[in-house]
């Protein structure tokens, strides 16, 4: 009886979630992307100092102009430096962001996590109905699968459309508060993925990556980063501040994804470029 | 006679090079990438403080550790900030780097410049025979086309393999000098693209992008950035410090390219991720 009780106790913790490597079969080894200008949706927000960002970051993306003008024999040159938090703009969290010793951004597998079938789960109406702290549920995912007659495949890249992407340049609306710094954290309000849904996706769908059009995969009031911890411990990649999901919603087409981050040695995240490539009619 | 003389005079200047938009037909609108783990060559060097970089940059890529450890209720968090020059590591130059008012990195066309057929021109033996300041010629390109029975297509992404990529972490060997700062510039030695070959590629092959496994598309001693100016004024993208071209040489296969930079507003360049996707068996 004592053993059973301990098992039940641990079943509720993040670390008890099985990693995809232990249970999941490898993702499909073959992804065909038919790239056409009219069939690519760029899911990347522009990266600049006006992006809304996590309130405890000390500064946003910042340019320092090195030089812009003519040098010597009529040679025009223009170039800059920049500094930024890793977790800024449309960006990726690698598993080492919330799991000690886990995969850094430079080692994330292209075929298991960055290139693969895409899924778009639209919860905008739910967020409007239930308020900004809406937690995306297992039922929302199952409803998507039923409606689309599609089962999320191993290595799938699952996007959640909350409608928050349209507020990205309005910091108070996007974060739920106009406070800044650590003082803002108790006042954060935006939708996120329920940690039970995160566990379910890891255990039952062996996903590669999740993306959301909000500042975090965790709902505003969750100061324990519950879904981050589930996903990171399972080796799943998280993409936050995804842009332009409304264009994918409007198209209604199936799509594949390629998401390429810079290869920062031991990075825990970075801004990246994400393309959705829509399949033919 | 006077008119003819003026035309001849201008024919030698960079600004007289016709842009690809004025002469070139659009690139193919359809690129099929068959992505498989064993057929992808990642042409990206890892991004860190040990990358060799242009000597007048005041600092390399630098991490600032924000936090790494446990917070509150056993939550592990690990994250960093970074700063860097735009033109650092395996990176892209957008046309506005050397052409006033030209396309910034966030506006570079995916289908015209970043996704398309790849070509690999191997000049390693020439560099070994003629020395580090070897200028890649029109003849080198024509020889490649003859040997491979392939004509470089509109929107083509042309890589030059000089063998310098293997020296990337040995600054003195890669740059030709162990001096640093402005003092190093007169002592730079590495191969590059002859500006006449750059003009020829722009005018006769309507290329989208050129890449090289050296620190600059211009040869070490060219302090006038001649090929940069030709290419930038024609709207052609330049990728420098390309990595792992030796793996593509070894494969000998045809390949396509996808090169995705972050979408920095009005950026003149940035580190990016480049994949070569090999066709065939």
In terms of average pLDDT, the best of A25-39, B5-19, B215-229 is B215-229
B86: nearest CB among A46, A79, A223: A79
Reported as type and span, the H/E element at residue A39 is none
Q: How confident is the model over B127-150, as a mean pLDDT? A: 97
B120 part of a folded domain: yes
Confidence (pLDDT) at B3: 40
Confidence (pLDDT) at A280: 65
Instruction: Say how many C-beta atoms besides its own lie within 10 A of residue A189's C-beta.
Output: 16
What residues of B are in contact with residue A47 (Cβ under 8 Å)? Answer: 106, 262-265, 267
Are the beta carbons of B78 and A84 separated by less than 8 Å?
no
**DSSP letter assigned to residue B73:** T
For B226, nearest residue in chain A (alpha carbons): A75
Nearest alpha-carbon partner for B185 in B217, B218, B222: B222
Q: And the tokens for A147?
A: 């409606």
Count of domains in chain A? 1
B139 part of a folded domain: yes
What residues of A are in contact with residue B273 (Cβ under 8 Å)? Answer: 260-263, 272-273
* Percent of chain A at pLDDT exceeding 90: 80
Q: Domain range holding A134?
A: 10-56+86-278
B125 part of a folded domain: yes
For testing contact with chain B, the best of A80, A114, A223 (most B CBs within 10 A): A80
Q: What is the end-to-end Cα distance of chain B in Å, rounded?
A: 59
Q: How confident is the model over A78-91, as a mean pLDDT? A: 96
Residue A20 exposure: Cα atoms within 13 Å on the Cβ side: 28
Which is more confident, A21 or A125? Answer: A125
A262 part of a folded domain: yes
A28 — pLDDT class (breaks 50, 70, 90): low
Average pLDDT, chain B: 90
Are the beta carbons of A76 and B100 separated by less than 8 Å?
yes
| Nearest CA-CA distance, residue A141 and chain B, Å | 27
Return the sign of the alpha-carbon dihedral for residues A278, B157, B11, B16: positive
Give the CATH number of the domain where residue B190 resides: 3.50.30.50
Which is more confident, B13 or A70? Answer: A70
Are the beta carbons of B224 and A73 separated by less than 8 Å?
yes
For B98, nearest residue in chain A (alpha carbons): A77
B82: nearest CB among A36, A76, A86: A86
Task: Indicate whether A15 pLDDT > 90.
Answer: no
Helix intervals (H) in A20-83: 20-23
A279 — pLDDT class (breaks 50, 70, 90): confident
Write the pLDDT tens digit of every residue in B76-120: 999 999 999 999 999 999 999 999 999 999 999 999 999 999 999
* Percent of chain B at pLDDT exceeding 90: 80
B281 — pLDDT class (breaks 50, 70, 90): low
Task: Indicate whether A9 pLDDT > 50.
Answer: no
Q: In angstroms, rounded to a whole number, what is the distance separating the alpha carbons of residues B32 and B34?
A: 6
| Nearest CA-CA distance, residue B260 and chain A, Å | 6
Task: Indicate whether A38 pLDDT > 90.
Answer: no
What residues of B are in contact with residue A66 (Cβ under 8 Å)? Answer: 85
Nearest alpha-carbon partner for A186 in A174, A199, A175: A175
DSSP E strand boundaries for chain A: 31-35, 40-42, 62-71, 75-85, 91-93, 115-122, 135-136, 157-161, 192-193, 209-212, 237-240, 255-260, 269-271, 273-278
Enumerate the β-bridge partners of residue A121: A160
Confidence (pLDDT) at A152: 97
Helix intervals (H) in B28-170: 124-130, 138-148
> Is the ipTM value over 0.85, yes or no?
yes
Which is more confident, B251 or A103? Answer: A103
Q: How confident is the model over A87-109, as a mean pLDDT? A: 97
Q: And the tokens for A129?
A: 């109905």
Confidence (pLDDT) at B14: 39
Q: In angstroms, rounded to a whole number, what is the distance separating the alpha carbons of residues A242 and A142?
A: 22
Which is more confident, A47 or B6? Answer: A47
For testing contact with chain A, the best of B12, B45, B60, B80 (most A CBs within 10 A): B80
A261 — pLDDT class (breaks 50, 70, 90): very high
For testing contact with chain B, the best of A79, A85, A104, A208 (most B CBs within 10 A): A79
Task: Indicate whether B19 pLDDT > 70.
Answer: no
For A33, nearest residue in chain B (alpha carbons): B33
From residue B183, how far is each of A34, B171, B179, B188, B215 by CA, in Å? 49, 15, 7, 10, 17
Q: In angstroms, rounded to a whole number, what is the distance separating the alpha carbons of residues A233 and A19?
A: 7
From residue A92, how far is each of A41, A210, A240 by CA, in Å? 18, 10, 6
Residues with Cβ within 8 Å of residue B194, at least 6 apart in sequence = B135, B136, B137, B138, B219, B227
Phi and psi for A267 in degrees, rounded to 5? -65, 155
Phi and psi for B154 in degrees, rounded to 5? -55, 135
B74 — pLDDT class (breaks 50, 70, 90): confident
Write the pLDDT tens digit of every residue in B172-221: 999 999 999 999 999 999 999 999 999 999 999 999 999 999 999 999 99
Q: In angstroms, rounded to a whole number, what is the distance separating the alpha carbons of residues A243 and B154?
A: 30
A13 — pLDDT class (breaks 50, 70, 90): very low
What residues of B are in contact with residue A96 (Cβ under 8 Å)? Answer: 78
Write the pLDDT tens digit of every residue in A216-258: 999 999 989 999 999 999 999 999 999 999 999 988 899 999 9
What residues of A are in contact with residue B37 (Cβ under 8 Å)? Answer: 29, 109-111
A155 part of a folded domain: yes
A84: nearest CB among B81, B100, B111: B81
Mean pLDDT is lowest, of A66-70, A81-85, A125-129, A214-218, for: A66-70
Instruction: Write down how long chain A is.
Output: 281
Tell me how many helices (H) and strands (E) chain A has: 8, 14
Confidence (pLDDT) at A7: 37
Instruction: Say how many C-beta atoms besides its own lie within 10 A of residue A67's C-beta.
Output: 11
Are the beta carbons of A261 and B273 separated by less than 8 Å?
yes
A157 — pLDDT class (breaks 50, 70, 90): very high
Enumerate the β-bridge partners of residue A46: none
Average pLDDT, chain A: 90
Helices B138-148, B195-205: crossing angle, 10 deg rounding: 50
Confidence (pLDDT) at B65: 83
For A225, nearest residue in chain B (alpha carbons): B75
Contact indicator for A64, A49 with CB cutoff of 8 Å: no
| Nearest CA-CA distance, residue B89 and chain A, Å | 10
Contact indicator for B242, B193 with CB cutoff of 8 Å: no
Q: And the tokens for A228?
A: 């981050």
Q: In angstroms, rounded to a whole number, what is the distance separating the alpha carbons of residues A193 and A160?
A: 8
Confidence (pLDDT) at A80: 95
B176 part of a folded domain: yes
Q: In angstroms, rounded to a whole number, what is the distance separating the alpha carbons of residues A107 and A266?
A: 8
B231 part of a folded domain: yes
Are the beta carbons of A271 and B258 separated by less than 8 Å?
no
A97: nearest CB among B78, B87, B90: B78
| Nearest CA-CA distance, residue A146 and chain B, Å | 29
Contact indicator for A223, A81 with CB cutoff of 8 Å: no
Task: Indicate whether A11 pLDDT > 60.
Answer: no
Confidence (pLDDT) at B218: 98
A24 part of a folded domain: yes
Contact indicator for B274, B44 with CB cutoff of 8 Å: yes
Torsion of CA A145, A147, A148, A149, to 10 degrees: 70
Mean pLDDT is lowest, of A19-28, A130-139, B115-124, for: A19-28
């Amino acid at each position: 009886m004592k053993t059973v009780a301990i098992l039940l106790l641990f079943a509720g913790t993040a670390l008890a979630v099985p990693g995809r490597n232990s249970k999941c079969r490898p993702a499909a080894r073959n992804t065909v992307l038919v790239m056409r200008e009219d069939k690519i949706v760029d899911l990347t927000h522009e990266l600049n100092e006006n992006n809304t960002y996590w309130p405890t970051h000390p500064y946003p993306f910042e340019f320092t102009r090195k030089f812009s003008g003519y040098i010597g024999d009529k040679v025009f040159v223009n170039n800059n430096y920049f500094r930024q938090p890793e977790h800024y703009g449309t960006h990726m969290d690698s598993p080492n962001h919330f799991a000690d010793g886990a995969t850094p951004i430079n080692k994330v597998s292209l075929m298991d996590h960055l290139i693969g079938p895409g899924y778009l789960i639209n919860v905008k109406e739910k967020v409007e109905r239930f308020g900004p702290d809406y937690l995306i549920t297992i039922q929302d995912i199952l409803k998507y699968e039923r409606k689309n007659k599609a089962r999320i495949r191993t290595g799938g890249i699952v996007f959640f459309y909350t409608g928050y992407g349209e507020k990205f340049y309005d910091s108070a609306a996007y974060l739920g508060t106009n406070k800044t710094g650590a003082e803002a954290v108790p006042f954060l309000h935006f939708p996120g993925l329920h940690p039970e849904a995160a566990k379910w996706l890891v255990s039952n769908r062996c996903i590669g990556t999740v993306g959301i059009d909000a500042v975090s995969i965790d709902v505003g009031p969750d100061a324990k980063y519950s879904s981050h911890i589930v996903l990171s411990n399972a080796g799943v990649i998280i993409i936050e501040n995804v842009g332009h999901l409304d264009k994918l919603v409007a198209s209604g087409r199936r799509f594949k994804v390629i998401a390429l981050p810079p290869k920062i040695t031991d990075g825990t995240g970075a801004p990246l470029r994400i393309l959705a490539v829509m399949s033919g009619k």
